[in-house]
Amino acid sequence: MSQCAWKRFARAAAALLLLGFTAQSDLGEPFGMSTEALPEGPLWVTWRNLQSQMTADERVVFQCRVQPRACPSFEAQKFIDIADEGRFYTDDGDRHGDLGRIGRINRAVNLSISAIKASTKWTSPLTALAAGVGDCKQYSVLKYAALKNAGFAADDLRIVIVQPKSEKQTHAVVTIRTGNHWLVLDNRTMIMAESKAVLAQNIPLFTFEERGVRQFAARIASRDVKGCEAGT
């Protein structure tokens, strides 16, 4: 092999090796994009307040599971019914796979409240069910909480704020990892798409997750967070 051919081979091998490492890292976060912690700010305040509200809801739901006849909350019982779509869904006597469980919870949440166009504040799952209406924030929080209650690992869940390329307002969805794939759960559709499949229409901006608030490395830094998912 000539020296020139060897250099071309070495460059190609290095590129393939780098691609292999990139592909592996893509499995870690939705959209195959890396994230980093967002500096302290309004979104951190929003997420901490929301986590506190969800923890309070979890205590009510737990009480209702332990003593269903003494359940003090109609909304908690409704939440349990939604989560149980994924907890106890069976097919021919066997526990159904993750896709079926996720799909049933996604559908149940989409049908549990009515969509409104007006931008609302972030609210807890039980508050959303009590109101019976909401925008993408209510749907995403409710899905996130229901999937956790159904037994899906918190590390595999994200509330993601995206910027639809065809709209001025931002939008909130839920992503969940199953195997080596991240699925996007959107209140606008019953279809669960792989995260990379929606990149042509959306720019990922931020995530709310167990680690806190994180930002995608390729987000548009100058864009304000407005619209459906407003962080205040």
CA-nearest of 159, 165, 158, 160 to 202 is: 165
Q: How confident is the model at residue 98 (pLDDT cuts 50, 70, 90)?
A: confident
pLDDT over 60 (residue 115): yes
Mean pLDDT of 119-147: 95
Mean pLDDT of 7-22: 35
pLDDT over 70 (residue 218): no
pTM of the model: 0.81
Q: Where are the alpha helices (DSSP H) in 73-228?
A: 74-87, 98-112, 125-131, 136-149
Mean pLDDT of 191-204: 94
Domains of the chain: 41-216 (3.10.620.30)
pLDDT over 90 (residue 18): no
The mean pLDDT of the chain is 83
CA-nearest of 107, 117, 97 to 178 is: 97
